[in-house]
Each structure stands twice: as structure tokens, then as C-alpha cells.
């Protein structure tokens, strides 16, 4: 197959996306596919674009790039674009993607996961991996996700969404539940997330979170064990437990080697294991996800479970969770990438 792996973009998770994309492209090439690895924002910045030749040569933009400990400087990246335009799709992206049999979306955050790109590709007739525009949009907004959880009796921490205007109308000052978690409503990789213990630290954390987004979710802090469960084609994978060596599962602990211990399958009794997997499959269904996704949970000391959020384009880096979960049932990384394409194509068979 001719496959475009789309990575990069202009979200705070750009570096993670590039690493995911590079690994996916390498795996698919080993499976015999012709693969172009393309930055969705930069595109292919050459006047002449021989698309067949790009696939034949295995075009790749990622040499020397990877996940750093600091968030990418997005303004600097934008300034390096040849045409200096504000459009999301870079030069020749549409033409190259049209040539492919399917696009593997290795994008994270912002316009890669919030449904806009998916809707655009639907209109252009371009096939892609992962959920469609509606499931992507719903899962991207943590406030909407929480409302759906509550409506379907899925356990989740209590919380509220705030906007920057709430600093002026006094609503923000009314929050008085500590400790609590402050997180940008549509962010990922724990960028802008804080755990706070007091009103003073809460207000500062809100200011920090508003730097990233105009809407911020605040929810009660649940002390407990953290788990994640991948779901492929509606079926849950083995559960993985996440144990940061210091602090919580933030950006550095997620992507820097040795910062977090991950146990898969998680050491849980059969009843709890089956219940969490059932909850993951239920979340996948009620949010309208397709092909694959990953659901995050907490388990407190009383055995109560809390669904936190769903990720429609989970990371595919060397330290990412879904590849570890798949490996626990004998699915290697290369096979997993092919499996994601296989189940994603089923969306189009059904239509």
C-alpha cells in the first residue's frame, strides 16, 4: 500500500508526534508498504513534487528530531514556513495524501485530534486512521467528555470548566475544593496540568493553564493508582499501570526514559480487571470512537474507579502505552501499525 504518515503540526505535542510518526513509518516500511512521512504543517516545500517518486524514495522529514524535555517553540516553527501562511495544511499535503491508499495520523493535540482535520479529509475523500470527526471532537474536549461520562453513569471525578472571563466575574474565586487538578480542556501529554493544594496555588495554576487554552477543566484530585487501557476495534487490550518515580505522570515523566515504571498486565484481581476493561469498551462506545483509542482511569483505595479521559490518537513512541499493551498479547509494534490500518479501513467498508 501507499501510506502517508502525517506527523508534526503546531500543537504543544509536536515533538511527541514526530517521534510517533518516525517509528510508525519505519514499522510500515518493514511490512512492505511504500511510506511518505510528512509534516502536516510544513508539508513538502519544493516547487516540483513528483509524488510517485516521493513514495518510491520513502520521503522523511524527521532526521535528528525527537522528544525534548521542553515544549516546542511553536512561534519559531511557524516562522520557518516557506510561504508564511496561516493555513494548517502545508504545501502539497493534500495532493500527496490523495495519492495514498490511507493516511496514518500520528498527530497529537490541537488540529490533529480535534476533528477538524478528520472532517476536512472526509470532504476531500482522503482515508485516514482512527476516529472520525465527531468522536474526535467530543473526546478532545475534557469538559464534554466528563458530561457524557456522567450521563452514562461512568464514574469520573467531579469537576467544572472555566474560561478566562471567569477570572473577572468572580466564578473562579468560588472554587474551594482542594486538592484539585487543573488541566487545559483540550490539551494532551499533561501539558499545562497542575495538582494544587490551596487557593493561591490554584489561581496561579489557572493562569498557567490559560496560556495554552481559553477553557480549563478543574476537577477533584483522586489519590490512587493510575491505569490506561487501549481499545482496538471495540475490544480492550490488557491494562497497564503507570507509576511515576517522582511527581505525577506529566510531560517529562511520559516521554523521558526511566522516569516512569509501567506494569503490563497490571497486577489486579480478575474482577477488577474485567470491570475496568468493560468500562474502557463502554467509554469507547459512548464517545463514538472508531478503530482504536486509549482510555485513562484511576482506582482509589476503596476500589472505586474513575474514568479520566479518552485519547483518539494515542502515542506510538518507544515509551507509549498502547504498543506495550499490544505486546502483552503477542502483537508486535509492526503488526500493531498494520492492525490499526486494517481496522481503520473498516470505517469506509461500512459507509
Q: How far apart are CA 241 and CA 228, in angstroms?
A: 7
- Decide: helix, strand or coil at residue 125: coil
Residues 290 and 326 reside in one and the same domain: yes
176: domain CATH number is 3.30.1490.20
Residues 239 and 209 reside in one and the same domain: no
Residues 328 and 258 reside in one and the same domain: yes
Using the 3D structure, point to which of 84, 106, 128 is the last residue of a domain.
Answer: 128
Residues 10 and 121 reside in one and the same domain: yes
Q: How far apart are CA 33 and CA 1, in angstroms?
A: 5
pTM higher than 0.85 for the full model? yes
Using the 3D structure, point to which of 109, 128, 147 is the last residue of a domain.
Answer: 128
Residues 17 and 75 reside in one and the same domain: yes
Residues 55 and 120 reside in one and the same domain: yes
Q: How far apart are CA 135 and CA 315, in angstroms?
A: 18
> Is 147 inside any structural domain?
no
67: domain CATH number is 3.40.50.20
**Residues 6 or more apart in contact with residue 80 via CB below 8 angstroms:** 42
> Is 338 inside any structural domain?
no
Number of domains in the chain: 3
> Is 23 inside any structural domain?
yes
**Angle, CA 76 vertex, CA 74 and CA 78 arms, to 5°:** 70
Q: How far apart are CA 257 and CA 68, in angstroms?
A: 11
Domain that holds residue 296: 223-332+343-350
Q: Which backbone phi and psi does 31 adopt, to 5 degrees?
A: -85, 0
Label the pairing between strands 224-232 and 235-244: antiparallel
> Is 135 inside any structural domain?
no
Nearest partner of 280 among 130, 139, 118, 116, judged by Cα: 139
Residues 20 and 55 reside in one and the same domain: yes
> Is 337 inside any structural domain?
no
Nearest partner of 146 among 324, 329, 338, 308, judged by Cα: 308
Using the 3D structure, point to which of 220, 244, 262 is the last residue of a domain.
Answer: 220
Q: How far apart are CA 267 and CA 253, in angstroms?
A: 21
Residues 174 and 270 reside in one and the same domain: no
> Is 145 inside any structural domain?
no
Query: What are the DSSP calls for 279-332, one per residue?
Result: HHHHHHHHTT--SEEEEEEEEETTS-EEEEEEESS---STT-HHHHHHHTTT--
Residues 214 and 237 reside in one and the same domain: no
Residues 105 and 21 reside in one and the same domain: yes
> Is 144 inside any structural domain?
no
Residues 12 and 32 reside in one and the same domain: yes
Q: What is the pLDDT along the chain (351 residues), one digit of tens a residue?
A: 999 999 998 888 888 899 999 999 999 999 999 999 999 999 999 989 999 999 999 999 987 665 555 677 888 888 889 988 889 999 999 999 999 999 999 999 878 999 999 999 999 999 999 999 999 999 998 889 999 999 999 999 988 888 878 877 778 778 888 899 998 877 554 567 888 888 878 888 888 888 777 888 899 999 999 999 999 999 999 999 999 876 544 444 444 456 689 999 999 999 999 999 999 999 999 999 999 999 999 999 999 999 999 999 999 987 899 999 999 999 999 999 999 999 999 999 866
Q: How far apart are CA 106 and CA 32, in angstroms?
A: 19
Q: Read off the pLDDT of residues 120-153 as tens digits, 9 standing for 90 and up.
A: 999 999 999 999 999 999 999 888 999 999 999 9
> Is 149 inside any structural domain?
no
- Decide: helix, strand or coil at residue 115: coil
274: domain CATH number is 3.30.470.20
Residues 305 and 248 reside in one and the same domain: yes
Amino acid at each position: 500500500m501507499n501510506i502517508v504518515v502525517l506527523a508534526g503540526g503546531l500543537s504543544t505535542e509536536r515533538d511527541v508526534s514526530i517521534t510517533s510518526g518516525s517509528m510508525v513509518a519505519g514499522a510500515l516500511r518493514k511490512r512492505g508498504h511504500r511510506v511518505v512521512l510528512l509534516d502536516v504543517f510544513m508539508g513538502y516545500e519544493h516547487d516540483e513534487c513528483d509524488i510517485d517518486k516521493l513514495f518510491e524514495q520513502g520521503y522523511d522529514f524527521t532526521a535528528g528530531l525527537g522528544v525534548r524535555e521542553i515544549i516546542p517553540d511553536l512561534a519559531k516553527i511557524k516562522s520557518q514556513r516557506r510561504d508564511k501562511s496561516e493555513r494548517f495544511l502545508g504545501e502539497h499535503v493534500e495532493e500527496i495524501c490523495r495519492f495514498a491508499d490511507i493516511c496514518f495520523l500520528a498527530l497529537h493535540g490541537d488540529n490533529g485530534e480535534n476533528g477538524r482535520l478528520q472532517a476536512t479529509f472526509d470532504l476531500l475523500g482522503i482515508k485516514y486512521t482512527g476516529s472520525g470527526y465527531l468522536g474526535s471532537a467530543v473526546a478532545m474536549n475534557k469538559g464534554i467528555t466528563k458530561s457524557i461520562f456522567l450521563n452514562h453513569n461512568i464514574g469520573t471525578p467531579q469537576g467544572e470548566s472555566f474560561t478566562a472571563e471567569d477570572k473577572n466575574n468572580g466564578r473562579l474565586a468560588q472554587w474551594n475544593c482542594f486538592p484539585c487538578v487543573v488541566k487545559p480542556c483540550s490539551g494532551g501529554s499533561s501539558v499545562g496540568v497542575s495538582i494544587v493544594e490551596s487557593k493561591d496555588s490554584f489561581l496561579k495554576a489557572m493562569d498557567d493553564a490559560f496560556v495554552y487554552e481559553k477553557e480549563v477543566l478543574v476537577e477533584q484530585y483522586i489519590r490512587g493508582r493510575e491505569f490506561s487501557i487501549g481499545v482496538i476495534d471495540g475490544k480492550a487490550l490488557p491494562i497497564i499501570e503507570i507509576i511515576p518515580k517522582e511527581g505525577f505522570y506529566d510531560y517529562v515523566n511520559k516521554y523521558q526514559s526511566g522516569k516512569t515504571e509501567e506494569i503490563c498486565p497490571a497486577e489486579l484481581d480478575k474482577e477488577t480487571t474485567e470491570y475496568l476493561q468493560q468500562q474502557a469498551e463502554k467509554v469507547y462506545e459512548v464517545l463514538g470512537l472508531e478503530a482504536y483509542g486509549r482510555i485513562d482511569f484511576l482506582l482509589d483505595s476503596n476500589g472505586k474507579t474513575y474514568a479520566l479521559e479518552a485519547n483518539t490518537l494515542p502515542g506510538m513512541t518507544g515509551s507509549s502505552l498502547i504498543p506495550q499493551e499490544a505486546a502483552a498479547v503477542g502483537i508486535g509494534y509492526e503488526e500493531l501499525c498494520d492492525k490499526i490500518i486494517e481496522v481503520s479501513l473498516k470505517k469506509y467498508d461500512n459507509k
